[in-house]
Amino acid sequence: MKKEKGTFAAGCFWGVEAAFRRVDGVLSTAVGYTGGAEENPTYHAVCSGTTGHAEAVEVIYDPSTVTYDDLLSVFWQCHDPTTLNRQGPDVGAQYRSAVFYHDAEQQAEAIASKEKLQGSGRYREPIVTEITPAAPFYMAEDYHQQYLEKQRGRIA
């Protein structure tokens, strides 16, 4: 089976990861940090706003079952791509909207998808999502992985 990778940032990575984990053809997900300068950042360092990293989700998928364009659709639906460095109550560059592409094909698909969404009239404000080359991805601490699944029944 062929496997491909997509990396997306859309605010707090817990909910974003949960959205991708529900997609048929997604083989695995991991939350972590990417797009910044510091090597091996911690959650607390990323939250300080000094590392330049975004909270992101790395998605490993089977392209014979789910397309990259399908993943882009999930990405656009799980957050507001018109808010700069903010998703809901979470504020800071670590919560920015970004697609980190892994090859020229992903770059082209992400740009086309963003342009199509912007032209759809769904949003009054411009889409501020970054489309940028993938950078080193640093896994977040274990307690962040599949966080919402671990919390089922614990959150009122």
Question: From the candidates 6, 7, 10, 12, which is the catalytic residue?
Answer: 12
Does residue 62 lie in a domain region?
Answer: yes
Does residue 38 lie in a domain region?
Answer: yes
Condensed to tens digits (0 to 9), the pLDDT of residues 121-156 reads 999 999 999 999 999 999 987 767 776 676 775 544
Does residue 79 lie in a domain region?
Answer: yes
Does residue 84 lie in a domain region?
Answer: yes
Which CATH number covers residue 40? 3.30.1060.10
Mean pLDDT of the region 55-82 = 97
Does residue 156 lie in a domain region?
Answer: no
What confidence score (pLDDT) does residue 156 get?
42
Does residue 43 lie in a domain region?
Answer: yes
Distance separating alpha carbons of residues 34 and 136, to the nearest angstrom:
6
Does residue 73 lie in a domain region?
Answer: yes
- Domain total for the chain? 1
CA-nearest of 111, 131, 122 to 10 is 131
47 noted as active-site residue: no
Domain range for residue 135? 4-151
* 110: Cα within 13 Å, side-chain hemisphere: 25
Condensed to tens digits (0 to 9), the pLDDT of residues 12-54 reads 888 999 999 999 999 999 999 999 999 999 999 999 999 999 9
